[in-house]
A and B are shown apart, each in its own frame.
Chain A
Amino acid sequence: MREPAPTETPAPARDPLTTAMRASHVLAGVLVVGALAFAAFGAAVGDTFYLRLATEALIFAGLALAVDILLGYTGLLSLGQALYFGLGAYVSALTLMAVPSFWAAFGAALLAGTVVGLVGGVIANRVRGVYFALITFGMAQVVGKVVYNTRALGASDGLIGVPVVDIGFGPWSFSSASPAGLFLFVLGYVMVLYAVAAYILDTPLGRLLIAMRANEGRVAFLGYRPVTARLIAYVIAAVVASLSGALYPMLRGFVSPELLFFTTSGNAVITVITGGAGTLVGALYGSLLLTVIKSYVGSWTEHHLIVIGLLFMAVVIFLPRGLIGLVRPKIERMLSRERKP
């Protein structure tokens, strides 16, 4: 057809999306190193408060990961992801109260997240765009209010007195009452959730979701049923949120209906947007950042929402890729330079 293109390698190996994901992995690695140093320091000085606070930040980072899978990759804004986080928390608490075993609670939360995620996904995926946001919001509200009014689930008090469990892998085990031990465990657990999400998003299925965010209609003409792809993304996000919620009663010893409410869902959305939607690692950093802001600003005024709200608005207006968007492109450039021979 045209004159032959100037000598440039037709480089299928250098895939921008894979490079972007690798850049996220670099940042995730930095986070793990920092967290390990923090844990060592915390354990050395015998700290409990900050270790537990950081553990909670990581648990909510798991919820934010779920929101990012939907919002940042599939283009679906969930305003009710707390539904699955709370589901995981309640199921885990109930299981632990019956059988004090981590793996039983994990299995129950996995199963509940999958089943309820499928049902919720079938309902929510009937609509798109703002209607999806509002229906997820509505579903979480319905379930939240029902739990709030159900005496068997502790109604407005929630479930208290979840026993301390021993979390074991083969010969190695530790008690969930140990702040440093639980922190390290939750760190590993959330990083596994991150790795699984990253893996899925780097498969053709994940690429399909990314394509759907830009142009869902065209995906059908590539031979894929958009509704099915959206449902898969929804169920994955439900399971990630549920598995994150399952950790909550192990840390706090109780669960309450607030875990299901809009404040929880909304916080996860703020976390993702502030950290950087569509980066996965932004959800992790965002959660830590918000926790730091809350506890730091909270130490001299209880009005941290003004600070968080203004920061969030500024990010929405000025930083469409969030705070991670300030850093990650530089790492991407470094990585793609490295790959050139």
Chain B
Amino acid sequence: MTAHRNGAPVLEVKNLSIRFGGLRAVDDVSFTVERQRITTVIGPNGAGKSTLFNLVSGALRPRDGQVLLEGVDLTGAPPHRLQRAGLARSFQITNLFPDLSVFETLRLASQILEPPLRAWQPVRRSTIAIARAGALLERFDLAAKAGHKVAALSHGEQRRLEIAVALAGEPKILLLDEPTQGMSHGDTEETAALIRDLAADVTVMLIEHDIGLVMSLSDHVVVMHQGRVLAEGPPAAVRADPAVQTAYFGHA
């Protein structure tokens, strides 16, 4: 494991804000993601969860506030720099390369583990990336589909591949945007087990709608409502919070 730099938390978000027109999509949001814990962001539709992910992962530039990765200020850095700094993300709607094979997708995603000049040598020389892709195929139960095109995978397989791609570059923190979106109950259970398993090596932060899953999986829950953090804490405490009851579960 890499040495923890100056003991700072993996991810620290300070007073993050962005507006779309008059809408304060994310409004003065601050929270901390501690190492090797599963942090889940929940909230009703339109609460600003996805926008928050986009701000943290560099897809959007914040208007105010800071994003610190292990104490290093990466506010407004473009996605590729954040990825290289150790922050990776998956997407709510599968966002991959339909024509590439599953193996090639994972090899490409693992390529940043190789020295830069390897990019100019034939792909078969990228042994680190090839080994990493092979390991991910096994871990995500996609080995039988290695040579298939991504477009030919089932929905559940594509969702797993989406997570595997995000994990490929060995990030310090993995942001998963609704990893179980559209999955059957059985697949959701399996994915939950997989995420728990991943959390042993990498800090995980996710957006999730399935409340049962959130409660069983999370170490820490951040509740968003109308662009702001309404409450945060351990799952049980958050569930008991009356403000959360009103805003999120729709009853007092």
Contact = CB atoms under 8 A, between A and B. Distances in A.
Task: State if A and B touch, Cβ cutoff 8 Å.
Answer: yes
Interface of A: 1-2, 5-6, 8, 10-12, 14-18, 199-200, 202-205, 207-208, 210-211, 214-215, 217-218, 220-226
Interface in B214-250: none
A202 B80 CA distance: 22
Interface in B74-117: 78-80, 83-84, 88-89, 91, 95-101, 103-105, 107-109, 111-112, 114
A221 B79 contact: yes
26 contacts: A1-B190, A10-B103, A12-B133, A15-B101, A15-B103, A16-B101, A16-B149, A18-B123, A199-B122, A202-B122, A203-B122, A204-B114, A204-B119, A204-B121, A207-B100, A207-B104, A208-B108, A208-B119, A211-B100, A215-B95, A221-B89, A222-B83, A222-B169, A223-B169, A225-B78, A226-B80
A222 B190 contact: no
A215 B95 CA distance: 8
A43 B167 CA distance: 60
Contacts of B100: 17, 207, 210-211, 214
Given A1-B141, A8-B144, A220-B79, A204 B126 contact: yes
Nearest to A226: B80
A61 to B, nearest CB: 24
A203 B101 CA distance: 16
B83 A223 contact: yes
A305 B1 CA distance: 66
A14 B100 CA distance: 13
Given A8-B144, A205-B119, 20 more contacts: A1-B141, A2-B190, A5-B141, A10-B143, A10-B144, A11-B146, A12-B130, A14-B147, A17-B100, A203-B120, A204-B107, A204-B111, A205-B120, A207-B107, A207-B108, A211-B105, A215-B96, A221-B57, A222-B109, A223-B169
A12 B169 contact: no
A205 B123 CA distance: 9
Nearest to B190: A1
Given A1-B193, A10-B143, A214-B100, A222 B120 contact: no
B244 to A, nearest CB: 31
Bin chain B's interface residue count: 35 or more
Contact of A203 (B123, B146, B147): B123
Contacts of A223: 80, 83-84, 111-112, 169
A210 B104 CA distance: 11
Contacts of B119: 203-205, 208
Q: Which of B79, B89, B126 has the most CB of A within 10 A?
A: B79
Interface string B50-63: 00000001100000
A104 to B, nearest CB: 27
B137 interface: yes
Contacts of A215: 95-98
A222 B141 contact: no
A338 to B, nearest CB: 15
A215 B79 CA distance: 14
Contacts of B58: 220
Given A204-B114, A223-B169, A17 B104 contact: yes
Nearest to A219: B80
A5 B143 contact: yes
A211 B119 CA distance: 14
A1 to B, nearest CB: 5
Nearest to B87: A221
B128 to A, nearest CB: 11
Contacts of A12: 103, 107, 130, 133-134, 146
A250 to B, nearest CB: 30
B165 A222 contact: yes
B193 A222 contact: no
B194 interface: yes
Given A204-B119, A221-B57, A211 B88 contact: no
Contacts of A208: 108, 111, 119
Contacts of A210: 99-100
B104 A220 contact: no
B104 to A, nearest CB: 6
B42 interface: no
Contacts of B210: none
B118 interface: yes
Contact of A6 (B79, B96, B141, B144): B144
A218 B79 CA distance: 9
B6 to A, nearest CB: 24
A11 B89 CA distance: 27
A223 B80 CA distance: 4
B73 interface: no
A204 B108 contact: yes
B146 to A, nearest CB: 5
A224 B133 contact: no
B100 to A, nearest CB: 6
